[in-house]
Structure 1
């Protein structure tokens, strides 16, 4: 339990280095397809590039934020299970 007024440290998972022959994902400009987007999971904020598994309007996608280039990109919107699999591939270094 945290003391009143304190926010606990939270670190999401770290992304593994890209593996040789990893899948090259296509990243798109963000779209305003839904009013609300829920972040289901995210990587650790200590890295310059973070990834978020997002869900909205019955679909899922992965959002990538690159602080070095000040850019936000996302994968194509798809079935939630496919987006979750893509997010797992990113975490394991199998996709970028």
Structure 2
């Protein structure tokens, strides 16, 4: 029986598809800590200075955008959405239909 542990060591996150013509431009808001704990369910690859995180807390979801490196990191968020709508938005970002 083989394991896939060796593959996990090389996995570093999802890469975004290129932006598509007619993509949705999202309104990114300053980070507002509304909950003590937020669960990051998925995230994009950290090999780029711009990453996205699909977050949930208290039955709602939002996308967090992290730009920069080191001490110069800027965090912005989408509005808080019902989880199903957050999942739709996450898929749109990953596939190049929103940024």
Structure-2-length-normalised TM-score: 0.85
| 1:15 shift after superposition | 0.5
Matched, 1:84 2:87: yes
CA apart distance, 1:47: 1.2
Alignment gaps of 5+ in structure 2: none
**RMSD of equivalent CA atoms:** 1.8
Which consecutive unaligned segments of at least 5 residues does structure 1 have?
none
Report the equivalent of 1:16. 17
Equivalence for 1:42 = 43
Q: State the Cα distance separating 1:8 from its structure 2 match.
A: 2.6
What TM-score, normalized by structure 1, do the two folds share? 0.88
Q: Matched residue of 2:79: which SS?
A: coil
Extract structure 1 runs of 4+ deviating beyond 6 A: none
Partner Cα separation in structure 1 for residue 13 and residue 85 of structure 2: 21
